[in-house]
Structure 1
Amino acid sequence: MYRRRTSQTVLCALESQAAVVLLGPRQVGKTTLALEIAGQRPSVYLDLERDADRQILTEPDLYLDEQVGKLVILDEVQQMPDLFKNLRGQIDMRRRKGARTGQFLLLGSASNVLLHQSAESLAGRVRYIEMPPLLLDEVGPERLNDLWLRGGFPDSFQADSDRDSLIWREDFLRTYLERDIPALGLRIPAATLRRFWTMLAHAQGGLLNAAALAEGLGVSGQTVGRYLDLLVDLMLVRRLQPWHENVGKRLVKSPKVFVRDSGLVHALLNLSSMESVLGHPVVGGSWEGFCIETLIASAPTGTEPFFYRTAAGAELDLVLRLPGDDIWAIEIKRTTAPKVSRGFHLAVDDIKADRKMLVYAGEREVPAGDGLRAMPLAAAVGQLRNL
């Protein structure tokens, strides 16, 4: 068991809000975290994928009235969207009786679907928290290569061998394609969506080219957009938007697309070992995506991530606009040589970055000239955590 940083975030949120919605893909550890919290206070737990637990909520107000004073944990809450109206009434009723915080912990694995369902019903009564897979500062920097290869899903990361880890990830992909996505009411052929997901893995970190993806799949560009929206909503793919605030510059306007978990990238491409990853053309994109996800998850709440690229060749792999509007310019390289291109310096000037950073594969933090510092990923995570 690893101490998850999200746990403290959730506990703090329950101290200030009536309801907390914990979002994250399946198998990321939401239920384990919730049950751990349940062991620290009077609580009840219902899994809304189970018929028996849904039956308990046939008359939700009657049941919830009996649970006043307890933390009510509802897992896979998107399975009962009509429940949100009842939760609003419950929260308001308890507020009138003086109970204002720590009433409901709602777990969900479809982000935008769940946000849409709860936005109106629970407006002003809820805080949303996204739970990432295991992070580098949770498992330790000595496990960096294991985390990059296997990804951060706990069962994958903690498997007895790289082979067992790959088998788990293949089963995870199959379950999403054959069970979880159809359960959302979406009629998408599993084989087609698997091909699409694999094409994204091959192009990890590339600019979105919907026309090329559509041609490769034999579908329309609109259908490609629908497939991409689905994987983004399930928190399995990231659409990293371009920085857009430089008037007068010819900016790239297409987003970059990443499969968010590096272990899934490698499973989609059947890369079972570190040797196979290092020998594959995706190695640079895989490392970049792994670092970007780690850095975004380590940044303070409210941080906005972008990338920056102009037609003239100025480029930044990651731009973080922190709360308070400080701007960090970050270059990511799978190299031990702490050097950046001229395009990096041009981009830094364009966006007027407050801090410049190169995340590289070396082991030491070193100055790289002109205010730039080169550092290993763990050191960059430490700087973001200390803000």
Structure 2
Amino acid sequence: MEYLSRAIEETILQSEKTFKCILVTGARQTGKSTMLKKLFPEKKYVPMDDPFIEEQAKEQPHMFMMLNTPPVIYDEVQRVPELFRYIKLKCDETQARGQFCLSGSQPLELMESASESLSGRVSIIELAGLSMREMKGDSFNLPFVPTMAYVQERSKTAAAFENIWKIIHRGSYPELQNPEVEWSAFFSSYIKTYLERDVRKLSAVQNLNDFRKFMVAVAARTGQILNYANIADEVGKDQTTIKRWISILEASGIVYLLEPFTSSVLKRAIKTPKVYFRDTGLAAYLTRWLTPETLANGAMSGAFFETFVISEILKSYSNRGIDYRYCVSYYRGKDKKKGAESEIDLIIEENGILYPIEVKKGTSVSADQTSAFTVLDQIPDKKRGMGAIICLCPIPGALRENILKLPVWYI
């Protein structure tokens, strides 16, 4: 299949010129190795998941480094964390940039090793699955924010998909963009590889079938507030185990935990994160929604659409090298006046301005569905900016002076 250009390439090329070492992290099969080999064909490529290479690097790291000198690409480097100290020494021997290009599918574990050994020498970059923009070959690269300036710029290249549910159901892994790759066979193999390699590596899970059952339980709750006790009851494990297993899914890029918006003013706000699968195709496979049609019309369609939208927004930030964890959150709490719970699906914070987002899978939406946005007016040191409902409407429009409705492909 022809190589699909990635939006983050510009960030990687710039980092390679600025830092001695770059580290590209992300879930399995997001295209890290393919992209690095395409961007740096002159660098030697060393795959650490080759058993012989892994053994050599672990048992004789000094000799291994002598035989595989920079500039070099070390793929799946998390398999040999012992190398980080030797990479640091090599970086310190020269002022040359772009000496090491590292990749790995265990972001949090890698970041800890890299931050300890390579502080000030490494640029850590997250590669997610393909975004809608990348699937369309759209070069638009601004991070999503619901402002008029953004919408006007986005309208120059935004193009609708013939059937967005096919995209949501198939998922964002690059290999699945080849229509000849069978959907269920891909994910069956993906989960088997993930369980046997990453899960065993990250935690001493005795029974992989129990972990598979746990993955299904979490996938069935994508877009929901994370309830450890509820999952523990369904899987038959204690909450401590479930919390540890959630951290494994998060560390290996399978799920994202969206933290709640915190403010001393909002005393009735829920303080538990929401859980989102990063790839809707994988979540659909685990929960047995076997076709786009059944998914679009099923009981979980709203949760899947929200999961897809949140994932696309996060990609628009990570593809610019922006750490979105510090600028996105959600809100759910009780309204004192109404006595009912209200929710804002996503809040994007930028320069002290809070942009509230609601996600609806329908084509027809109304300003009444954004009544919770006014809770942000209570925050004394912040300003509420333009809000938006992201939905399946055909074109952008204004619901009120400060509320937009936007088609999902405008992300």
TM-score, normalization: structure 2? 0.85
Q: Within 2, Cα distance between the matches of 1:327 and 1:86? A: 44
Q: Within 2, Cα distance between the matches of 1:111 and 1:199? A: 23
Check the 8 A contact 1:156/1:165 in 2, yes or no: yes
1:44 counterpart residue number? 44
2:285 equivalent to 1:264:
no
Aligned-residue offset at 1:63 = 5.2
1:368 counterpart residue number? 399
2:140 counterpart residue number? none
1:168-195: per-residue Cα shift (whole Å, max 9, x none)?
1122112212343224452242211111
Structure 2 SS opposite 1:247: coil
Q: Within 1, Cα distance between the matches of 2:375 and 2:71? A: 49
Check the 8 A contact 1:315/1:343 in 2, yes or no: no
Q: Within 1, Cα distance between the matches of 2:302 and 2:251? A: 25
Structure 2 SS opposite 1:173: helix
2:122 equivalent to 1:126:
yes
Check the 8 A contact 1:157/1:165 in 2, yes or no: no
Closer/same/farther in 2, CA of residues 56 and 11 from structure 1, 3 Å limit: farther
Closer/same/farther in 2, CA of residues 348 and 366 from structure 1, 3 Å limit: farther
1:117 counterpart residue number? 113
Letter paired with 1:186: A
Letter paired with 1:333: K
1:230-250: per-residue Cα shift (whole Å, max 9, x none)?
100001011110000242431
Structure 1 SS opposite 2:388: strand
Match 2:273 to one of 255, 275, 280? 255
Closer/same/farther in 2, CA of residues 261 and 59 from structure 1, 3 Å limit: same
Q: Within 2, Cα distance between the matches of 1:215 and 1:55? A: 41
Structure 1 SS opposite 2:373: helix
Q: Within 1, Cα distance between the matches of 2:346 and 2:299? A: 21
Letter paired with 1:142: F
2:355 equivalent to 1:332:
no
Q: Within 1, Cα distance between the matches of 2:206 and 2:278? A: 21
Check the 8 A contact 2:48/2:74 in 1, yes or no: yes
RMSD, matched Cα: 2.0
2:30 equivalent to 1:28:
yes
Structure 2 SS opposite 1:94: coil
Structure 2 SS opposite 1:148: helix
Closer/same/farther in 2, CA of residues 150 and 347 from structure 1, 3 Å limit: farther
Check the 8 A contact 1:315/1:347 in 2, yes or no: no
2:135 equivalent to 1:139:
yes
Aligned-residue offset at 1:329 = 1.3
Q: Within 1, Cα distance between the matches of 2:31 and 2:175? A: 9
Check the 8 A contact 2:25/2:124 in 1, yes or no: yes
2:94 counterpart residue number? 94
Letter paired with 2:406: M
Letter paired with 1:109: S
Q: Within 1, Cα distance between the matches of 2:165 and 2:280? A: 11
Match 1:358 to one of 378, 383, 389? 389
Check the 8 A contact 1:246/1:350 in 2, yes or no: no
Closer/same/farther in 2, CA of residues 362 and 110 from structure 1, 3 Å limit: same
Structure 2 SS opposite 1:310: strand
Q: Within 2, Cα distance between the matches of 1:71 and 1:184? A: 29
Number of residue pairs matched by the alignment: 370
Structure 1 SS opposite 2:225: coil
- The within-5 A match list for 1:271-310 is 271-299=289-317, 301-303=322-324, 304-310=327-333
1:384 counterpart residue number? none
1:151 counterpart residue number? 171
Check the 8 A contact 2:198/2:252 in 1, yes or no: no
Check the 8 A contact 1:5/1:138 in 2, yes or no: yes
Q: Within 1, Cα distance between the matches of 2:126 and 2:66? A: 29
2:378 equivalent to 1:347:
no
Letter paired with 2:265: V
Aligned-residue offset at 1:157 = 3.3
Check the 8 A contact 1:78/1:114 in 2, yes or no: yes
Superposition misfits of 4+ residues, deviation over 6 angstroms: none
Q: Looking at both structures, which has the greater relative contact order when contacts are Cα pairs under 8 Å and sequence separation is at least 6?
A: 2
Q: Within 1, Cα distance between the matches of 2:334 and 2:172? A: 35
Letter paired with 1:359: I
Q: Within 2, Cα distance between the matches of 1:110 and 1:63? A: 22
1:226 counterpart residue number? 244
Closer/same/farther in 2, CA of residues 311 and 78 from structure 1, 3 Å limit: same
Letter paired with 2:355: W
TM-score, normalization: structure 1? 0.90
1:326-384: per-residue Cα shift (whole Å, max 9, x none)?
432111110111324253332343453222111111120000113111111222x2xxx
1:283-329: per-residue Cα shift (whole Å, max 9, x none)?
1111001000101110351332211111223321111223x344321
2:212 equivalent to 1:194:
yes
Check the 8 A contact 1:348/1:356 in 2, yes or no: no
